[in-house]
Protein backbone atom coordinates (compact mmCIF):
# COMPACT_ATOMS: atom_id res chain seq x y z
CA UNK A 1 0.00 0.00 0.00
CA UNK A 2 1.50 3.28 -1.08
CA UNK A 3 0.20 5.30 1.91
CA UNK A 4 1.03 2.70 4.56
CA UNK A 5 3.53 4.82 6.48
CA UNK A 6 1.40 7.99 6.78
CA UNK A 7 -1.67 5.90 7.65
CA UNK A 8 0.29 4.10 10.36
CA UNK A 9 1.47 7.41 11.82
CA UNK A 10 -2.02 8.92 11.76
CA UNK A 11 -3.67 5.86 13.32
CA UNK A 12 -1.08 6.02 16.10
CA UNK A 13 -2.08 9.64 16.74
CA UNK A 14 -5.76 8.65 16.74
CA UNK A 15 -5.04 6.02 19.37
CA UNK A 16 -3.00 8.49 21.45
CA UNK A 17 -5.92 10.92 21.39
CA UNK A 18 -8.25 8.14 22.58
CA UNK A 19 -5.74 7.46 25.38
CA UNK A 20 -5.77 11.13 26.28
CA UNK A 21 -9.57 11.25 26.44
CA UNK A 22 -9.62 8.19 28.70
CA UNK A 23 -6.92 9.71 30.90
CA UNK A 24 -8.71 13.01 31.45
CA UNK A 25 -12.08 11.29 31.91
CA UNK A 26 -10.56 9.11 34.61
CA UNK A 27 -8.78 12.07 36.18
CA UNK A 28 -12.08 13.96 36.33
CA UNK A 29 -13.78 10.99 37.96
CA UNK A 30 -11.00 10.43 40.50
CA UNK A 31 -10.72 14.12 41.38
CA UNK A 32 -14.47 14.40 41.85
CA UNK A 33 -14.47 11.26 44.05
CA UNK A 34 -11.97 12.94 46.34
CA UNK A 35 -14.71 15.50 47.00
CA UNK A 36 -12.15 18.13 47.86
CA UNK A 37 -12.20 21.51 46.23
CA UNK A 38 -13.07 22.27 42.67
CA UNK A 39 -14.96 20.15 40.17
CA UNK A 40 -12.50 19.06 37.48
CA UNK A 41 -15.13 18.51 34.78
CA UNK A 42 -15.29 22.10 33.49
CA UNK A 43 -11.52 22.20 33.16
CA UNK A 44 -10.90 18.82 31.62
CA UNK A 45 -13.95 18.60 29.36
CA UNK A 46 -12.16 21.13 27.14
CA UNK A 47 -9.20 18.77 26.87
CA UNK A 48 -11.37 15.80 25.93
CA UNK A 49 -13.30 17.88 23.40
CA UNK A 50 -10.01 19.01 21.87
CA UNK A 51 -8.85 15.40 21.48
CA UNK A 52 -12.23 14.40 20.04
CA UNK A 53 -11.86 17.13 17.38
CA UNK A 54 -8.32 15.93 16.69
CA UNK A 55 -9.62 12.40 16.21
CA UNK A 56 -12.26 13.58 13.75
CA UNK A 57 -9.66 15.40 11.66
CA UNK A 58 -7.23 12.48 11.78
CA UNK A 59 -9.93 9.95 10.85
CA UNK A 60 -10.87 12.09 7.87
CA UNK A 61 -7.21 12.15 6.77
CA UNK A 62 -6.82 8.37 7.21
CA UNK A 63 -9.95 7.73 5.16
CA UNK A 64 -8.71 10.10 2.45
CA UNK A 65 -5.50 8.05 2.27
CA UNK A 66 -7.54 4.85 1.96
CA UNK A 67 -6.80 3.50 5.43
CA UNK A 68 -8.59 2.20 8.49
CA UNK A 69 -8.34 3.39 12.06
CA UNK A 70 -8.88 2.06 15.58
CA UNK A 71 -11.43 3.32 18.07
CA UNK A 72 -9.82 2.22 21.30
CA UNK A 73 -7.05 3.01 23.70
CA UNK A 74 -3.58 1.50 23.48
CA UNK A 75 -1.89 -0.81 25.95
CA UNK A 76 0.34 2.08 27.04
CA UNK A 77 -2.78 4.19 27.62
CA UNK A 78 -4.38 1.47 29.73
CA UNK A 79 -1.17 1.15 31.74
CA UNK A 80 -1.25 4.90 32.37
CA UNK A 81 -4.84 4.61 33.66
CA UNK A 82 -3.88 1.79 36.02
CA UNK A 83 -0.90 3.79 37.24
CA UNK A 84 -3.17 6.79 37.88
CA UNK A 85 -5.53 4.62 39.96
CA UNK A 86 -2.65 3.16 41.91
CA UNK A 87 -0.91 6.48 42.57
CA UNK A 88 -4.13 8.25 43.56
CA UNK A 89 -4.85 5.59 46.20
CA UNK A 90 -1.37 5.67 47.76
CA UNK A 91 -0.26 9.27 47.34
CA UNK A 92 -0.15 11.72 50.21
CA UNK A 93 -1.31 14.34 47.71
CA UNK A 94 -3.69 12.47 45.38
CA UNK A 95 -4.58 15.58 43.37
CA UNK A 96 -0.93 16.10 42.49
CA UNK A 97 -0.52 12.40 41.64
CA UNK A 98 -3.53 12.43 39.31
CA UNK A 99 -2.43 15.61 37.58
CA UNK A 100 1.10 14.30 37.11
CA UNK A 101 -0.38 11.27 35.32
CA UNK A 102 -2.29 13.66 33.04
CA UNK A 103 0.96 15.49 32.41
CA UNK A 104 2.71 12.21 31.53
CA UNK A 105 -0.10 11.36 29.10
CA UNK A 106 0.19 14.76 27.44
CA UNK A 107 3.94 14.26 27.09
CA UNK A 108 3.33 10.90 25.45
CA UNK A 109 0.83 12.43 23.00
CA UNK A 110 3.14 15.38 22.30
CA UNK A 111 6.03 13.03 21.62
CA UNK A 112 3.82 11.14 19.15
CA UNK A 113 2.94 14.33 17.30
CA UNK A 114 6.56 15.48 17.27
CA UNK A 115 7.62 12.13 15.81
CA UNK A 116 5.05 12.25 13.02
CA UNK A 117 5.64 15.92 12.21
CA UNK A 118 9.39 15.43 11.95
CA UNK A 119 9.18 12.12 10.10
CA UNK A 120 10.03 11.73 6.46
CA UNK A 121 6.61 10.20 5.77
CA UNK A 122 4.86 11.54 2.70
CA UNK A 123 2.34 13.80 4.38
CA UNK A 124 0.77 16.68 2.53
CA UNK A 125 1.56 20.22 3.63
CA UNK A 126 -2.08 20.72 4.66
CA UNK A 127 -2.02 17.61 6.83
CA UNK A 128 1.34 18.57 8.35
CA UNK A 129 -0.14 21.99 9.20
CA UNK A 130 -3.15 20.28 10.77
CA UNK A 131 -0.78 18.19 12.92
CA UNK A 132 1.14 21.33 13.90
CA UNK A 133 -2.15 22.94 14.94
CA UNK A 134 -2.95 19.90 17.08
CA UNK A 135 0.52 20.08 18.58
CA UNK A 136 0.09 23.74 19.49
CA UNK A 137 -3.24 23.10 21.21
CA UNK A 138 -1.60 20.35 23.27
CA UNK A 139 0.51 23.04 24.89
CA UNK A 140 -2.63 24.76 26.18
CA UNK A 141 -3.38 21.65 28.24
CA UNK A 142 -0.34 22.30 30.36
CA UNK A 143 -1.63 25.76 31.20
CA UNK A 144 -5.07 24.37 31.94
CA UNK A 145 -3.71 21.63 34.22
CA UNK A 146 -1.48 24.11 36.05
CA UNK A 147 -4.37 26.55 36.47
CA UNK A 148 -6.62 23.82 37.86
CA UNK A 149 -3.90 22.66 40.26
CA UNK A 150 -3.21 26.22 41.47
CA UNK A 151 -6.91 26.96 41.98
CA UNK A 152 -7.38 23.62 43.72
CA UNK A 153 -4.43 24.29 46.05
CA UNK A 154 -5.70 27.79 46.82
CA UNK A 155 -9.19 26.46 47.51
CA UNK A 156 -7.89 23.77 49.87
CA UNK A 157 -5.63 26.28 51.65
CA UNK A 158 -8.50 28.73 52.07
CA UNK A 159 -10.74 25.94 53.44
CA UNK A 160 -8.04 24.93 55.92
CA UNK A 161 -7.56 28.57 56.92
CA UNK A 162 -11.28 29.05 57.55
CA UNK A 163 -11.51 25.89 59.69
Element (H, E) at 110: helix 94-118
**Domain ranges (residues) in the chain:** 4-162
> Taking CA 32 as the corner, what is the angle to CA 83 and CA 87, rounded to the nearest 5 degrees?
20
- Alpha-carbon distance of 108 to 82, in angstroms, equals 16
Mean pLDDT of 114-121: 88
For domain 4-162, the CATH superfamily is Ferritin, core subunit, four-helix bundle (1.20.1260.10)
Percent of the chain with pLDDT over 70: 94
Reported pTM: 0.90
pLDDT confidence of residue 163? 52
pLDDT confidence of residue 136? 93
Residues with Cβ within 8 Å of 142's Cβ and at least 6 positions away in sequence, in order, are 103, 106
Residues with Cβ within 8 Å of 59's Cβ and at least 6 positions away in sequence, in order, are 14, 69
Amino acid sequence: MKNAEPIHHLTTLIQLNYDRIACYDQATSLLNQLNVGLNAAPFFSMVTQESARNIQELVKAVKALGGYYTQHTSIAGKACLLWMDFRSMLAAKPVHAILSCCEAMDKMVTKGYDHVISSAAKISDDLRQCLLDHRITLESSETLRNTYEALQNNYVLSQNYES
